Structure 1
Amino acid sequence: MKQLLYGVAYYFEYLPYDRIDQDIEMMKAAGINVVRIGESTWSTYEPHDGEFDFSKLIYTLDKMDKNGMKVIVGTPTYAFPTWLAKEYPDVLVERQGNRLPYGARQIMDITNPTFRFYAERIIRQMMQVTREYDNVIGYQVDNETKHYGTSSRNVQAGFVDYLKQAFNGDLDALNAEFGLDYWSNRINAWEDFPNVNGTINGSLAGEFAKYQRQLVTDYLAWQTAIVREYTHDNQFITHNFDFEWRGYSYGVQPDVDHFAAAKPLDVVGIDVYHPSQRQLTGAEISFAGDIARSIKQQNYLVLETQAQAFKTWTPYPGQLFQLAFSHVASGANMVEYWHWHSIHNSFETYWKGLLSHDFQPNPVYNEAKKVGAAFKKLSADLINLKHTAKVAFVVDNASLTATSGPWMEFGIGEDAKYNDVFRRLYDAFYRQNIATDVLDPKLIDPAKYDLLVVPMLYTATDEFLQKLNDYVENGGHVLYTFKDGVANEHVKVRTTRQPGIISQAVGAHYEMFVDPNGEGLADSAGVFKDVDGQISNWAELLETDGAKVLATYDHHWKSYAAITENNFGKGMTWYLGCWPNEAIVERLVEHIVAVLGLAGSYQVQFPLIVKSGINEQAEKIDFIFNYSDENQAIIMPFAATELLTDTSVAAGQEVELAPWDVKIMKRG
């Protein structure tokens, strides 16, 4: 990337009339220099089987090319035409034995050979049309791809073949490892292998979920390979990964292994949506950016984020400007809105774009003009920012799926799911301005970090857990949580005292766990004094094997530890054995940060958030955000130039930030 990209998704095919010249004029006035097109309109480009009409795509590309607008073309495979569903109904995904009806997007069976045939054909036709345009800088394969719960006959058969290979055809080994004697689920012949949709076995379900994620990895690799045949050296291939959705981007995506699926891509793209107005904290932008940046240890693209969107997301004055630089501060080289204009019918009529239904300039568009001007001015200073972190989160799709579903009926609790634990811990570090990476166990090099945070790593190999023990013994530090280290990679619970292998470094163990049922925490070492000790859902009754007790339970279980700290070799561990409220988690993180000296030069906490990076000129850039409705002030620890205003700031000078403000400081 040579410059910051500022863009929109643009759907000429959706417009009620041809206004492309006015749109381009308004885009250029706003500093928009890239559009994403094509990913939603297969039925327009192939109205009948084998009849191709790319006239609208070509018209759009020509217009953009003549006006110096860069283009990212999306393959249109995530929403397929009616004729394909009518002629070949088996291309519709089958989920839990039910084939979905036609209508919505993302209802295809990504493994279906017929779907693959027609998808490949439209991709190749599109590539032949678009490849020679100099303004096409990259391609997006598919759109927010997941496995969509696919479980049709061909998927079930593929899963059986996958298990045969994994266990070298040894059914006895499979039965023993997965505990299939339970409820007479034992499989005594491969041809008797049941449909997995009905399983109550967590090992089998977890392995099937892993297999489904592999289908996504294979599908994106398949599309990427096709597109790669046509691209030039100066064109990239990306994909727009999304995250668990709880009305906005919330946590680790359960249905895709981002780290594996991104391997064939040139650059990672993400879609990030978040609360706005009074609920804006920047945390969603930060965690999504940390994941995206960590996947390939490089900068990434924001292929979708909100402009106006919902009535609850229409940004306050100043927020759109602040948000654009929030993405850049986390490592984004592009910020692109979904989408340019609000559409006039169908499902997303009132998910509003940068322009409203009247296509006229509005306050959000006018603020986008300020963003575009600032991106143009500061591009050389902010492109390709490099980030370093002393703290890394270890996240794991397998543990996420292993701790949910009917096989965990007697498990943790609805309000303490995997992403709840990840986000409560992540947000605590974020609010204290501690930079983090977010990595998969298979990829992380513990020695690169001062502290690892391991939220609810329920399933893990013996080798990885021993690797963590060795890391601590050699001087590393780990914050563990409840349900860490319980089961092996096949979700088989270990027969040792919990938390199993890591007990050695934790210096404590438990044999009982309970619902707190009104029990709270009692401070034992001054860390949690004056903090509401409310806990819920889960409490492990820890017995110390030398660990220091930071908190116990306050009533019936007061003889047991709830949170511990332990010196092991040259390093230390902390073990959070219960599901506490946000205040307790924040206090624990504050304590760890203080013990390890992780706090940065800016001695501030949320709502003041500081993000730092090194630019291509080896200069240190600090972004200071005020995520609040109140004026805030910060004392500068360094002399700097504020880049937005070209103002010099002295070390020790107080800098004021208005509500929803951002300052960009270049040190020195």
Structure 2
Amino acid sequence: MPLRPEVHDGVRLGAAYYHEYQPYERLTADLDLMAEAGLTLIRVGESVWSTWEPQDGVFDLEWLLPVLDGAYERGIGVLLGTPTYAVPPWLQRKHPELAVRLRSGRRVPWGARQETDFTSPVFRRYAERVVRRIVTRYAGHPAVVGYQVDNEPGLHLMHNPEVFAGFVARLKERYGDVAALNERWGLTYWSHRLSSWDELWPPEGNTTPSYDLAWRRYQADLTGEFIAWQAGLVRELARADQYVTTCLAPTRPAVDDVAVNRALDVAAGNLYYAAQDGLGLPDQERRHDGGWFGQGVWQLYQSADRHRGAKQAPFLITETNAATIGGSNANYPGYEGQLRQVAWALAARGARLVEYWHWHTLHYGHETYWGGLLGHSLQPGRFYGEARRIAGEFAAAADVLRGLEPDADVAFVRSAESDWAFQHQPPLSVPGSYDSPDPRSYARIFGAFYKGFFDAGRQARIVSVPQLRGAPEEWARRHPVLVAPALYAADDATLALLDGYARAGGHLLVTFRTGYADAEARARAEVAPGPLRAAAGVHYLEYSNLRTPVPVRAAEGCGLSLGPDARATAWADGLVPDDAQPLAWYEHPHFGRWPAATSRAHGRGRVTYTGTLPDSEFAAALAEFCAPPARWADLPSTVTATSARNAGGDRVWFVHNWSWDDGVRVDAPEELVDVLSGERIGAGQAVGLGSWDVRVLRAPAGDSFP
């Protein structure tokens, strides 16, 4: 049976499959069940170096052949992983010096994964040997459609002496001499001024913000360079029609989304979320950072938009919830319908693959209670049945889903460097505390504004700072609204582009801490918001954290509509309007002298400045003020409507009901056709949704919306 390549215009369903982990021989049964369910891709081989190479230089490559043969016979493609993230015991025993050293100086003990310094030439020799053996053996197998190099890279910030030596060499390249470093980092402070490179102290004792930012940049560069090195090895041996990717875990500390994907053919990664009531709307003010997985429907969409933003192109989800996720004490499988809802949401945001981790629930090991599509009984149940339905719907809708390009009402500028800078010097305290620094400050700020636009029914695109290049006029044409949340560590050129964007006709929304520091994380020696002061028409000379939320009210006649429960939280800039119009005022005996938000016409566009962390009501009101009208009006609080254009020019709507209400009805804004049932729906006609339901609706090319 001919295979369909995975990087294509359709959307496919798959699962990670580890036949070598099964408690007894069941390859035929597993593959038959996959084929019956309509799964078209499996990921294999990335976690078992000690199976590929049980002894130093002794290889066993044939164990995978029956899996590949059986998959090919059933029309199932294979994403073949390289096993470099989980080293075998013999390598650890032979080279204990390869262990990662942490900030404390402690070696990471062997017994988990990713314990090894992947920059070491010694490690690279062993890694190259096993990668070449595997790819050489299977590059010609027709089942193999692509390769995943490594897995979830960037787990540790490595403090090994050799890594530090490389860091010093990189600084020499960047700064030239210690005099420049002294000036750029402000090393006069606390007598840190250097007279030679060998006086640079190791990072475990560092307190200098500019040093920390440079160290984080370097660690992310190392991860990107390692992935690029492996991708190069694989491409030497792979077929021309096979792609190369990795599985990115965006919360890893030594990762920059754009840098790690630069050498890859397609972005891919994991996307985990809190199911059950965690996917309910309306949202109950769940925390903005999400931990290592998302909490709330808005974070599901934010994570998908971030994966797409890594290359500004379609992406693969190589891991997502099948059933429960996490440890033995966190058993929260999705309600009936939630797997389907999430799969369609990911497809709507540009995913070409939704792959579950994993096919079967493991019977041993650290992840024994991380649920697969099959439970410990290995019998098909509810999750298998729902996956089968999703695969069938994806297949039935294949023509409509071809070439989907998600719509966006607003673009968000994401800054990995501002995130790193805030992890070192957070502007916010942990909620409920007086002075406990919150290293998730950037995620909280970014998330609050993303959630505001999501709650207002607007769709987003995420753009990283390195991608923010080109003519401001082009950005203004493509994106009517651009949001730069807490763009703290920013060079003058980036801020000038934002200024030019507004001049060219875009609506720029900036927040507190945007423009405050330069590219070295040094506070600018000018009145804040620095280079954006003239464009924003506002300045401030002081600021304060807020221990408790402060009510805010809309300024009269400004066009901002605020409800009585809107609040400012966590932070307040002491904004002084120069020629900007206040939008909202604090209701407080001290902070009430300052506006919480302002707006000003700038060239052909506008700049809106928000000097606080808005709660959900305030953030949604700001989104309504900035964004074009929502395409579906007056949706119930439990319903979302997102859209994309397909290759034929049709707009495809994905309308979700994130609740138990089984009688939801919304009015169609135009004539539509249900992609799955063929039902025709007239403009203004009610669209019905059951509980935890999704409708996929097509509008003809040339519809009435831009």
Q: TM-score range by the shorter chain?
A: over 0.9
> Which residue of the other structure, out of 436, 440, 446, is the alignment partner of 2:460?
436
Letter paired with 1:142: D
**What root-mean-square deviation, in Å, do the aligned CA atoms of Structure 1 and Structure 2 show?**
1.9
How has the CA–CA distance of structure 1 residues 71 and 602 changed in structure 2, closer, same or farther, with 3 Å as cutoff? farther
Q: Note if contact 1:531-1:584 (Cα within 8 Å) is conserved in structure 2.
A: no
For residues 124-181 of structure 1, the C-alpha deviation after alignment (integer angstroms, 9 at most, x for no partner) is: 010011101111111111111115111211111111111111112x211110110111
Moved more, 257-266 or 210-219: 257-266
Instruction: Answer whether contact 2:485 2:511 (CA < 8 A) is retained.
Output: yes
Distance 1:142 1:54, change over 3 A: same
2:117 pairs with 98, 109, 123, which one? 109
Aligned equivalents of 1:284 and 1:12: distance in 2? 33
Give the match for residue 187 of structure 2: 180
Asked if residue 471 in structure 1 is aligned to residue 501 in structure 2, the reply is: yes
Taking a change above 3 Å as real, the CA distance of residues 574 and 413 of structure 1, as seen in their structure-2 partners, is: farther
Structure 2 residue runs of 5 or longer lacking an equivalent are 1-7, 280-295, 430-434, 701-706
Displacement of 1:414 in angstroms is: 2.4
How far, CA to CA, are the matches of 1:585 and 1:312 in structure 2?
Answer: 33
For 1:541, the equivalent position in structure 2 comes to: 574
Aligned residue in 1 for 2:5: none
Instruction: Say whether the 8 Å CA contact 1:74–1:141 is kept in structure 2.
Output: yes
Please report how far the alpha carbon of residue 610 of structure 1 lies from its aligned counterpart in structure 2 after TM superposition: 1.4
**Alignment correspondent of 1:262:** 261
1:174 & 1:407 partners in 2: Cα distance? 24
The answer to whether the 8 A contact 2:555-2:585 is kept is no
For 1:576, the aligned partner's letter is: T
3-state SS of the aligned residue for 1:157? helix
Check whether the contact 1:202–1:407 (CA below 8 A) recurs between aligned residues: no
Q: 1:309 Cα deviation (Å)?
A: 2.0
- 1:390-401 to structure 2, matched below 5 A, reads 390-401=409-420
Is 1:452–2:486 an aligned residue pair?
Answer: no
> Partner amino acid for 1:286?
Y
Counterpart-to-counterpart distance in 1, 2:632 and 2:382: 36
Q: Which amino acid aligns with 2:541?
A: E
Q: Distance in 1 between matches of 2:614 and 2:458?
A: 21
Deviation at 1:598, TM superposition (A): 4.0
Structure 1 CA distance for aligned equivalents of residues 427 and 695 of structure 2:
47
Q: Distance in 2 between matches of 1:282 and 1:572?
A: 30
Tell me, yes or no, if structure 1 residue 347 matches structure 2 residue 366. Answer: yes
Per-residue deviation at 1:603? 4.7
Alpha-carbon distance change, 666 to 118 in structure 1, aligned in 2, over 3 angstroms = same
d(CA) in 2 for partners of 1:407 and 1:531?
30
Q: Deviations over 1:514-560 (max 9, x none)?
A: 12344724424153543324333321111110111122232112212
User: What is the CA deviation profile of residues 599-652 of structure 1, one whole-angstrom value per residue up to 9, with x for unaligned ones?
Assistant: 224553642111211222222211111111223211111212101112111111
Residues of 2 paired with 1:617 and 1:518: CA distance?
52
CA distance in 2 between counterparts of 1:629 and 1:171 reads: 63
Deviation at 1:285, TM superposition (A): 3.0
CA shift for structure 1 position 296: 2.3
Aligned to 2:153: 145
- Aligned equivalents of 1:530 and 1:2: distance in 2? 44
The CA distance in 2 between the partners of 1:408 and 1:388, in whole Å, is 33
Match of 1:130 in 2: 138
Give the equivalent residue in structure 1 for 2:375. Answer: 356
Structure 1: runs of 5 or more not aligned: 245-252
1:67 deviation in Å? 2.5
Task: Decide which moves more: 70-79 or 601-610.
Answer: 601-610
Is 2:692 aligned against 1:660? yes
Question: Per the alignment, in what secondary structure is the counterpart of residue 565 of structure 1?
Answer: strand
Question: Given the superposition, is the C-alpha separation of residues 516 and 298 from structure 1 closer, same or farther in structure 2, using an over 3 Å criterion?
Answer: closer
Q: Please give the residue correspondences for 1:477-496 in structure 2 after superposition, counting only pairs within 5 Å.
A: 477-496=507-526
Match among 672, 675, 698 for residue 643 of structure 1: 675
Task: Please identify, of 443-452 and 348-357, the stretch whose mean Cα deviation from structure 2 is larger.
Answer: 443-452
Cα deviations by residue, 1:415-474 (Å, 9 ceiling, x for unpaired)? 870001111111221222212110112212533311110011111001111221122122
Which residue identity lines up with residue 620 of structure 1 in the other structure?
A: R
Counterparts of 1:93 and 1:589, CA distance in 2:
45
- Describe the superposition over 1:492-529 as per-residue Cα deviations: whole angstroms up to 9, x where unpaired: 11100111111111111111111234472442415354
Taking the aligned partners of 1:393 and 1:591, their CA distance within structure 2 comes to: 16
Are 2:656 and 1:625 aligned? yes
Letter in 2 for 1:298: A
> CA offset at residue 386 of structure 1?
1.5
C-alpha distance after superposition, 1:289-340 (max 9, x if no partner): 2122233232111111011024543111111122211111111111100000
- Alpha carbons of 1:341 and 1:60: their partners in 2 closer, same or farther (altered >3 Å)? same
What does residue range 566-577 of structure 1 map to in structure 2 within 5 Å?
566-577=600-611
Aligned mates of 1:389, 1:478 — CA distance in 2:
15
* AA of the residue aligned to 1:622: W
How big is the shift at 1:409?
Answer: 9.6
Distance 1:519 1:315 in 2: 33
User: 5 Å matches for 1:203-222?
Assistant: 203-222=210-229
Q: Which amino acid aligns with 1:350?
A: Y
2:312 matched residue in structure 1? 297
| SS of aligned partner of 1:115 | helix
Aligned-pair CA distance for 1:224? 0.4
The one-letter code of the counterpart of 2:320 is T
Among the aligned pairs, what percent are the same residue?
34
SS in 2 for 1:625: strand
Which residue number corresponds to residue 579 of structure 1? 613
Q: Which stretch of the first structure deviates more once superposed, 286-295 or 158-167?
A: 286-295
Q: SS in structure 1 opposite 2:406? A: coil
Retained in 2: the 8 A contact 1:200–1:407? Answer: no
Whichever residue aligns with residue 210 of structure 2, its letter is S
Q: 2:150, 2:218 → 1: CA distance?
A: 20
Query: Measured at CA, do residues 518 and 316 of structure 1 come closer, stay the same or move farther in structure 2, by a change above 3 Å?
Result: closer
Which residue of 1 is the match for residue 564 of structure 2? 531
Q: Structure 2 length as normaliser, TM-score?
A: 0.90
- Structure 1 position 485, deviation (Å): 0.5
1:88-136 Cα offsets, whole Å, 9 max, x none, are 0122211112110001112221211111111111100100111011111
Change (3 A) 1:254 1:510: farther
Question: Aligned partners of 1:412, 1:425: CA distance in 2, in Å?
Answer: 23
| Aligned amino acid, residue 136 of structure 2 | Q
- CA shift for structure 1 position 221: 0.4
| 1:588 alignment partner in structure 2 | 622
Structure 2 residue 541 is the aligned partner of structure 1 residue 511: yes
1:15-67 deviations in Å (ceiling 9; x for gaps) = 11110101011111111111000000101110110000122212211222222
Equivalent of 2:126 in 106, 118, 141: 118
Q: CA deviation at 1:229?
A: 0.6
CA distance in 2, matches of 1:531, 1:262: 45
1:239 and 2:237 matched: no
Question: Within 1, Cα distance between the matches of 2:346 and 2:427?
Answer: 37
